[in-house]
Amino acid sequence: GNSVTQMEGPVTLSEEAFLTINCTYTATGYPSLFWYVQYPGEGLQLLLKATKADDKGSNKGFEATYRKETTSFHLEKGSVQVSDSAVYFCALGPNNNDMRFGAGTRLTVKP
C-alpha cells in the first residue's frame, strides 16, 4: 500500500542554516506529494506540493522536488528562520481518497 517514510527528528538548527528533511514514499500509480506544516498550537497548513515527477513545489523559501527515480520528496530551505520552527509532515495522495502522512519532523530554529 501507499506509505511515506520521513526522517525522524527532532532537528535543531541555528538561524540561517541550511535545512533538509528527507522524505521517501512507496506508492502504486502516480500520487501527488505534499509537505504540510504544523505551527505550535495550530492545525495543518499546506506548505507546498508537486503533482508529477520532476515537478518542484516551492513556497516561503522552501522547495521540494518530486523524484520518481529515487521515490523521494525531500524538503529544503537555504536559510531557516526562528519562525520556521514547527512540525513538518510529508504526505502522499490521494490516489483513491485518503492522504498518507509521515510521522512528522519537529524543527527548532535557535537565534
Partner 1 sequence: EPEVTQTPSHQVTQMGQEVILRCVPISNHLYFYWYRQILGQKVEFLVSFYNNEISEKSEIFDDQFSVERPDGSNFTLKIRSTKLEDSAMYFCASRSVGLAFGTQYFGPGTRLTVL
Binding residues (CB under 8 A) for partner 1: these are 32, 34, 36, 42-46, 49, 51, 89, 91, 93-94, 96-104
Radius of gyration of the chain (CA): 13
Of 86 and 91, CB closest to partner 1 = 91
On whether the CB atoms of residues 23 and 107 are closer than 8 A, the answer is no
Of 49 and 67, CB closest to partner 1 = 49
Evaluate the omega torsion of the peptide bond into residue 94 and state whether it is cis, within 30 degrees of 0.
yes
CB of 78 to partner 1, least distance (A): 25
Of 70 and 97, CB closest to partner 1 = 97
CB of 23 to partner 1, least distance (A): 13
Could you tell me where the beta strands, DSSP code E, fall in the chain? 3-6, 11-14, 19-21, 23-26, 33-38, 44-50, 56-59, 62-65, 75-77, 86-92, 100-101, 105-110
CB of 93 to partner 1, least distance (A): 7
Pull the grid cell for residue 36: 504540510
Of 28 and 97, CB closest to partner 1 = 97
